[in-house]
Structure 1
Amino acid sequence: MPKKSFAELINSPGMPVLVDFYADWCGPCKTMAPILEQVAAQHQGKVKVIKIDVDRNQAAAQQFRVQSIPTLILFHKGQPVWRQAGVVSAPQLTQTLQSYVQ
């Protein structure tokens, strides 16, 4: 199976895509990981969650002007509709997703 481009990943038909820009060495990113896993499990089949390592994917991080990590960006129909830098609580993230989940 060919590797998908970032543009293909965020243009998921029918469901929003939450992108977590992170790095393995980032403490707050490690705090955010289980929250993302929980929210992804709660919204399985309704939201696609993608993790992008900024050290390995600098072009994507630059394209979306990621200046601090973790940065979460929610894409709906391929367009960024919400963005948050830093750790976000599961209830806050769930509330944000409600507007875009079908």
Structure 2
Amino acid sequence: MSEERITRRSLASPKTKESDWSRFDVLTDADIEDAVTADLDAAPLADEAWFAQAAIVEPPLKEAVSIRLDKDVLAFFKTTSTRYQTRINAVLRAYMESELRSKR
């Protein structure tokens, strides 16, 4: 057996104590930057050069169409997600990209 302590919680467990944010309110930007720099697990902070070269990526435009689908196909997609139209689009895109790759 593992020597590691396992803590179990349930919805019936009492809520954890609220955080005391007053000690964070007094931190300066320099204090925060020093803390992040000292944390080996923290991602590096973005600098001005990163923002200057970052590109805005916009999703492709959508076009409203009317399409006739088999009843069972539509029912299947509706049961898999509330965003079933997005899922259908993703399946069609995967098929399209596969076809384009195979024609190269």
**Bucket of the pairwise TM-score, normalised by the shorter protein:** under 0.3
Q: Report which of the two has the higher share of strand.
A: 1
**TM-score (structure 1 length as normaliser):** 0.21
**TM-score (structure 2 length as normaliser):** 0.21
Structure showing greater radius of gyration is: 2
